[in-house]
């Protein structure tokens, strides 16, 4: 099984630019999560989807952040415009609903906004 | 609100020592799930274990063991005979048990374990 695939692995951009992070969940999984990891705040849930529908986006920092899941095999997290404080590692994870199963994480995207 | 506290931030041990990583949680749910994840220096998050709130049996997997005690809201993780490859950040996490939300994890801050040769 391929695992959760995130791209790019690293992204360096200038303040004000638009950033798009991509995620392909494990085939057959119907829940997808976006987490952000920083030294100060640790791992924070930004948003999650069940069956491509956003269920809880209360962790999205502000309107500059948006996430979509147009189909079961693809999701994006967009930041527009980006700011230096958005620098973090962004993880995507997937799992199946029903009997609780563990989250399977991608390798993350390390975002640096200068 | 749910909360996970990992009071230890950094632990350093010498190889072959046993080490216990503490985790204390808070939740108002009667049904919930607890997890441990490992984040090695390469950065990925690796699932180690999941327990549900109705199962307080301790679990052993090789050198790893977990002690779940509802009375003290703790879910501690012990590594026996630690090895250098165990060096990583270890996260304890808690999830709700509601349908559709059973994998929404609240993570602790993590414990950085360094195992010296």
Q: For the segment A97-109, what is each residue's pLDDT rounded down to a tens digit?
A: 766 678 899 999 9
Q: Is B41 on the interface with A (CB under 8 A)?
A: no
Identify the bridge partners of residue A4 per DSSP, sorted by sequence position: none
- The contacts found for B64-68 with CB under 8 angstroms, 24 or more apart, are B66/B36, B68/B34
Beta-carbon neighbour count of residue A18 at 10 Å?
11
Q: What is the per-residue pLDDT for A26?
A: 94
Beta carbon pairs, A and B, within 8 Å: 59
Dump pLDDT digits (tens) for B21-42: 999 999 988 888 899 999 999 9
Percentage of residues in chain B having pLDDT higher than 90: 73
How far does B81 lie from chain A, in Å, by closest CA?
26
What is the pLDDT, as a whole number, of residue B99? 52
B81-111: pLDDT as tens digits: 999 999 999 999 998 776 545 567 899 999 9
Top residue of A3, A9, A43 to mutate, by most chain B CBs within 10 Å, is: A43
Q: What is the pLDDT of residue B55?
A: 85
Q: How far is the alpha carbon of A25 from chain B, nearest alpha carbon, in Å?
A: 15
Residue A76 or B31, more confident: A76
Distance CA A72, CA A97 (A): 13
Yes or no, beta carbons of B97 and A101 under 8 Å apart? no
Per the structure block, which two tokens stand in for A30?
């119907």
Q: Is B1 on the interface with A (CB under 8 A)?
A: no
pLDDT of residue B102: 54
Q: Report CA B78 to chain centroid distance, whole Å.
A: 9
- The chain A residues in contact with chain B (CB within 8 A) are 31, 33, 42-43, 45, 48, 50, 55-56, 89, 91, 93, 95, 97, 100-108, 110
To the nearest whole Å, the CA of B19 is away from the closest chain A CA by 23
Q: Which residue of B has its CA nearest to A108?
A: B44
């Amino acid at each position: 099984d391929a695992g959760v695939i995130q791209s790019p692995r690293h992204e360096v951009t200038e303040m004000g630019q638009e950033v798009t992070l991509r995620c392909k969940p494990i085939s057959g999984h119907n829940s997808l999560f976006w987490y952000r990891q920083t030294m100060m705040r640790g791992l924070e849930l930004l948003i999650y989807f069940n069956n491509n529908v956003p269920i809880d986006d209360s962790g999205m920092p502000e309107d500059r952040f948006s996430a979509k899941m147009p189909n079961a095999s693809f999701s994006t997290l967009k930041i527009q415009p980006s700011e230096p404080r958005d620098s973090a590692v962004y993880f995507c994870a997937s799992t199946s609903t029903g009997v609780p199963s563990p989250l399977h994480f991608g390798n993350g995207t390390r975002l640096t906004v200068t | 609100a749910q909360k996970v506290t990992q009071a230890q931030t950094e632990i350093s041990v010498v190889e072959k020592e046993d080490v216990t990583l503490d985790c204390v949680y808070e939740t108002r749910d009667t049904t919930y799930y607890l997890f441990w994840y490992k984040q090695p220096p390469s950065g990925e998050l690796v699932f180690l274990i999941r327990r549900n709130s109705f199962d307080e049996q301790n679990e052993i997997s090789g050198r790893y063991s977990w002690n779940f005690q509802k009375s003290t809201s703790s879910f501690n993780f012990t590594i026996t005979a630690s090895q250098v490859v165990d060096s990583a950040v270890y996260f304890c996490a808690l999830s709700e048990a509601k349908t559709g939300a059973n994998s929404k994890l609240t993570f602790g801050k993590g414990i950085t374990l360094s195992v010296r040769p």
